[in-house]
Structure 1
Amino acid sequence: MDSQQPAAGVTVVPLGPRDRDRLLGVDAAAFFFDPSQHDPEHVLDYFEWPRTFGASRDGGSTLCGVYTAFGLGLTVPGPLDALATVPMPGLSWVSVHPDHRRRGVLRAMLDHHFAQLHEQGVGISGLHAAEPAIYGRFGYAVASLEVHLSMGRGATFTAPSLDEEAGRLQTRFMPMDSDEARAQVHRLHVAATASTLGAVTRSDLMGRVLFRDHPPARVGREPQQVMFCSRDGEATGYARFTRSGTWEDGSPKGTVAVTEVVALDEASLLALARRLVDFDLTTTVTFDQRSTDDPLLWWAGGPRAVEISTYDGLWLRLVDVGRALSERGYATACDVVLEVVDEVCPWNQRRWRLSVDDKGVGRCSPTSDPADLRIPVQALGAAYLGSRSIASQAQRGVVEELRTGAVRQLSLAMRADREPMPGIAF
C-alpha cells in the first residue's frame, strides 16, 4: 500500500532519502529541538525508507506530518516458562506540523500504519509515547514500566552468591564511537534479548550506525563510553555511559549517566554495576531503562536505599488479534472466547477463541461462539508482556466478565514469572 486517501482528505505518501530535509523540517516544527545537536547528514542513516511516510493535503508537495517504523523484534512470554521473539515494527518520529494539528493528520498516518501491517500479516506495533494522552485512543497501551535509579558513588551491591564469580570477571571501557565497539555491543545486545522478557532487538542497521559521536549533542558531557565485561577473554556484557564533571566549593560533583546495561548473566551485571559506581571525581550514578524488579534495585538495598523514578516504558498495540495472541506463549492451559472491542482496526472487532494446550501453546481464531469476556484491544496490549494482568484490569472495570471464572483463567494464562524490561528507545 503506497498511499491512502482518508475521509479527511489527507494523503499518506512514501518518503525517501531525497525527502530528508522536508522530513526534518516537520519534525523540528513539532518538537522544536536545537538543530545543532543533530548531524543532518547522518541523523536519518538508520531509517528504513520503505517504512517511512509523510502526510499531505496536496499530493505530497507539502508535508503536514511524517512517521517511520523500524523493523524490530520483541521478546515475549513463550510456552510455560520459556520466552519467544516476535516481529515488532517500532513506530517512531511521529510528527504533525503545528499548522495542521487537529485536522485528521495523525489519524490518517496511524490508519495507514495499521492497514499496512495488517496486509503484511504483522501482529503487533510498538512505540514510546512523547505524550501519554495521545496513543490510547488508537489502541496502544503501556505494556512495561521503566525505572530510573539514582544512587551515590560507592553504593554497595549485596549479592553474596555472585561475589566469587563477579570477582573473576574483567572490565574495561573505551569510546563508543568505533566500529569495534559498535559491533561488539550489537552482538551482545542480540544475544541478551533472547533471554530478557520485554527486550526490544535493534536491527543490524541500527547496530552499525547508532552511537556515533556528535560533539554538539554532548551538552557538557564526555563522548559516550562503553564498558565491556569479559570472562576468560569472552565478552559477557556491556554498559553505555557518559560522565559529566562539575565542581562545587572546590570539590568534585561529577555524574555518571548509564543509559544501558546488558549482561548475559547476573555475575556480569554485578561486575559492571560495581565498576560504574566507583569512578573517581563523581558523586552520583544514574541507571536508565531498568525494570520494577531489577536486580540492581534490590542489590543496592531496595526502594529506600536509592532514588527511583518510574515512567511508562513500551506501548503495544495488537494490530492483528489472532496472530498476536497465537505468537506468544502462555503459563497455563486456557479456553476462552473474547469479544474484542476495537473501533480503529475493524478487522479485530469480533469474537475470538483463544485455546491454549497444557504445553502453553495457544491458537487464537475467529469464532461465532458466545463470548466469555468483553475486552478492549488496549487491555490485551497492556497484558501482552505478562505484567499488567487481565484480573487487575477487570477490577478497574476495563474488562467485562461474561462467564464466571473467565477473567481468572485468562489472567493466569497470560501472566509471566518476571517483570518485563522496558525496551530500548527507538
Structure 2
Amino acid sequence: MLRPEDWDTWYGTLLRAFGGVDESDEERALWRGLTPCERSLGAWDGDELVGTAGAFDFRLTVPGGASVPAAGVTMVGVLATHRRLGILTRMMRRQLDDIRAWGEPLAVLTASEAAIYGRFGYGAATFGLTGEIDTSRVRLSVPAGTDDVRLRYADPVDALGACEAVYAGTVPMRAGMLARRPGWERLGVLDPESERGGASPLQCVVAERSGKVVGYTRFRVRPEWTDTGHNGQVVVQDLAALEPVAGAALWRFLFGIDLTTSLKVRGRPVDEAWQHLVSDLRRCRLQVRDSLYVRLVDVGAALEARTYQAPVDVVLEVEDAFCPWNAGRWRLSGDAKGASCTRTADAADLSLSARELGAVYLGGVSLSSLAAAGRVRELRSGALGEAAVGFGSAVAPWLPHGF
C-alpha cells in the first residue's frame, strides 16, 4: 500500500515510466488529490521505487442502467531499467486479489499499449470514435425543435455545477459511463497551457431550454491563416446533452464557428447521432479505437449485476488461469428484468476465457464475432445466437473520459 508521504516519489516514477515529461503544478495537484493511497501499490528495489499501480473507486453503468462498483485500474508503470522481471505481473496479481477482497466485481482500465492486459483477463469492451470533419464542405441537418434551444458562452469553471448536473443525468443512459465522485469534475476544466497544442484556452457553451441547462460542450479553437484566408480548427474536448435537440444545437454551433474549416472530435460514442445528420460522412475521416477494457473479478456477481436485452439461459465454461476462482461452469439465466448466475455441474453450452467475457460484458462486442475469430466455442447448437442477442445492447457502451 502506498504511504501518502511517498506519493511524490511514486508519481515521479510513473511519469518517468511514461517518458519523463513533467506536468504542471495544477495537474499534479489534481491527481494527488484524486489518488487513493490505500488502493495504490509501489514496487521497490531496495530504496528505489521502480513500479506503480493504483485502483480508483468507481461506479460503472452496466446494461440495464445499474451502477456497479468497479476498480478503475490506473497509473500502472514500471521503469525501463526493470522491465521483464515480472514486476507488472506481481502488481496485477496483488491488485486483483485486493479488488476481490474489497468485494468489487469488476476491474476496468484504459491501456497505454493494447497488447499488455489481455493476459491478465482484460478484454476491450468499449470503443471511441475519432474524426476530423471538413466543416467547409460538410453540412449538418438538425431535427425539429433544435431552434428552441438557446446557447450561451459560459466560463468553464463558473458553469461547472450546471455541466456536472447534465453529465450525471447522462450516466444511466449508456453502459460504460462513470459516476463521478467529488473532485473528478475538476478533470473536465483542467486547462494547462502545455496541453493546448497552440489552441485557445478552454471555452464552454451551455444549451438551455425553458430556462434549464440541458447540455454543454467544452472546446478550444486553433486559429490558422494561409494566403487564401482562414483555416482554423475547433477541437472538441467534451459534449453532453440530456435531449437530442440540445445535442444537435451544440453540434450545429461547433460546425459553424467563424474562421474555422475543420472540427476535431476524439473518443466519442461510435453510434453518436451526428453521424446521421452530416451531408458527407466520408469527409468526416472517422476512425475507431479501443477504449475501456473490462475484467470480471467475480463472474457470478458481475453477470448478475446487468440485464439482458433478450431472455438467456446458458451454461458458460469459463477459463481463467489468472483468477482461478472464476474458472469452471456458470449457469446464467436472465432477461430485461434481472439475472442470476450460479455455479453448475450441467454440461456447458459455450466455452470462453475471462478476456472474452470482459469484452462482451457491456454489450458493445458480439459473442458471435468472437466465435468467428475462434475465441468463443459453441458446444450446444443454437446457444451462441441466443446468448449473443441477450448480451447485446441497444445503445453502444462508451467511456466518456480517461483516468
TM-score w.r.t. the length of structure 1 is 0.89
Equivalent pair of 2:61/2:178 in contact (CA under 8 Å): yes
Give 1:315 shift. Answer: 0.9
Stretches of structure 1 lacking an aligned partner (at least 5 in a row): 1-13
Question: Match for 2:309: what amino acid?
Answer: A
Aligned positions of 1:139-150 closer than 5 A: 139-150=121-132
Question: Match for 2:371: what amino acid?
Answer: A
Question: Match for 1:112: what amino acid?
Answer: R
Give 1:130 shift. Answer: 0.6
CA displacement 1:267-312 (0-9 Å, x = unmatched): 0000000111111121111122222221111111463241112111
Give 1:232 shift. Answer: 1.7
The equivalent position to 1:106 in structure 2, one of 80, 83, 88, is: 88
Aligned counterparts of 1:377 and 1:36: Cα–Cα separation in 2: 36
* 1:376 and 2:353 correspond: yes
Which residue number corresponds to residue 157 of structure 1? 140
Give 1:22 shift. Answer: 0.8
Aligned counterparts of 1:228 and 1:317: Cα–Cα separation in 2: 36
Distance 1:127 1:151, change over 3 A: same
Q: Secondary structure at the match of 2:313?
A: strand
Which residue number corresponds to residue 4 of structure 1? none
Which residue number corresponds to residue 319 of structure 1? 297
Aligned counterparts of 1:55 and 1:366: Cα–Cα separation in 2: 36
Aligned counterparts of 2:343 and 2:86: Cα–Cα separation in 1: 31
Which residue number corresponds to residue 169 of structure 1? 149
Aligned counterparts of 1:218 and 1:306: Cα–Cα separation in 2: 22
Name the Cα RMSD after superposition.
Answer: 1.9
Which residue number corresponds to residue 60 of structure 2? 74
Aligned counterparts of 1:408 and 1:228: Cα–Cα separation in 2: 44
Equivalent pair of 1:331/1:360 in contact (CA under 8 Å): no
Aligned positions of 1:192-203 closer than 5 A: 192-203=170-181
Q: Secondary structure at the match of 1:185?
A: helix
CA displacement 1:75-102 (0-9 Å, x = unmatched): 2211xxxx32222221111111111111
Which residue number corresponds to residue 365 of structure 1? 342
Equivalent pair of 1:383/1:389 in contact (CA under 8 Å): yes
Give 1:33 shift. Answer: 4.7
Q: Secondary structure at the match of 1:371?
A: coil
Give 1:238 shift. Answer: 1.0
Count of aligned pairs: 401
Give 1:384 shift. Answer: 0.9
Question: Match for 1:373: what amino acid?
Answer: L
The equivalent position to 1:136 in structure 2, one of 114, 118, 122, is: 118
Aligned counterparts of 1:27 and 1:142: Cα–Cα separation in 2: 23
Tell me which moved more, 250-259 or 127-136: 250-259
Which residue number corresponds to residue 48 of structure 1? 36
The equivalent position to 2:219 in structure 1, one of 236, 241, 246, is: 241
The equivalent position to 1:411 in structure 2, one of 372, 385, 388, is: 388
Equivalent pair of 2:139/2:280 in contact (CA under 8 Å): no
Question: Match for 1:170: what amino acid?
Answer: R
Which residue number corresponds to residue 208 of structure 2? 230
CA displacement 1:68-126 (0-9 Å, x = unmatched): 22222222211xxxx32222221111111111111111111111221111112211111
The equivalent position to 2:22 in structure 1, one of 25, 35, 42, is: 35
Give 1:152 shift. Answer: 2.5
Stretches of structure 2 lacking an aligned partner (at least 5 in a row): none
Aligned counterparts of 1:246 and 1:175: Cα–Cα separation in 2: 24
Give 1:36 shift. Answer: 5.0
Aligned counterparts of 2:279 and 2:337: Cα–Cα separation in 1: 36
* 1:262 and 2:248 correspond: no
Equivalent pair of 2:360/2:366 in contact (CA under 8 Å): yes
Aligned counterparts of 1:51 and 1:335: Cα–Cα separation in 2: 37
Which residue number corresponds to residue 20 of structure 1? 7
Aligned counterparts of 1:17 and 1:296: Cα–Cα separation in 2: 45
Give 1:153 shift. Answer: 3.1
Equivalent pair of 1:46/1:210 in contact (CA under 8 Å): no
Give 1:16 shift. Answer: 3.7
Aligned counterparts of 1:390 and 1:167: Cα–Cα separation in 2: 42
Which residue number corresponds to residue 363 of structure 2? 386
Question: Match for 2:289: what amino acid?
Answer: Y
Q: Secondary structure at the match of 1:200?
A: coil
Aligned counterparts of 2:356 and 2:178: Cα–Cα separation in 1: 21
Distance 1:53 1:115, change over 3 A: same
* 1:340 and 2:322 correspond: no
Structure 1 residue ranges, 4+ long, deviating more than 6 angstroms after superposition: none
Distance 1:41 1:397, change over 3 A: closer
The equivalent position to 2:76 in structure 1, one of 70, 89, 94, is: 94
Give 1:347 shift. Answer: 0.6
Give 1:135 shift. Answer: 0.8
Aligned counterparts of 1:191 and 1:238: Cα–Cα separation in 2: 12
Tell me which moved more, 228-237 or 367-376: 367-376
* 1:349 and 2:331 correspond: no
Equivalent pair of 1:339/1:374 in contact (CA under 8 Å): yes
Aligned counterparts of 1:122 and 1:89: Cα–Cα separation in 2: 7
Distance 1:54 1:130, change over 3 A: same
Aligned counterparts of 1:52 and 1:227: Cα–Cα separation in 2: 37
Which residue number corresponds to residue 9 of structure 1? none
Distance 1:250 1:394, change over 3 A: closer
Aligned counterparts of 2:390 and 2:318: Cα–Cα separation in 1: 18
Which residue number corresponds to residue 6 of structure 1? none
Q: Secondary structure at the match of 1:271?
A: helix
The equivalent position to 1:308 in structure 2, one of 286, 300, 309, is: 286
Using the aligned pairs only, state the percent identity.
Answer: 33
Give 1:30 shift. Answer: 1.1
Aligned counterparts of 2:31 and 2:44: Cα–Cα separation in 1: 23
Question: Match for 2:146: what amino acid?
Answer: A
Give 1:364 shift. Answer: 0.7
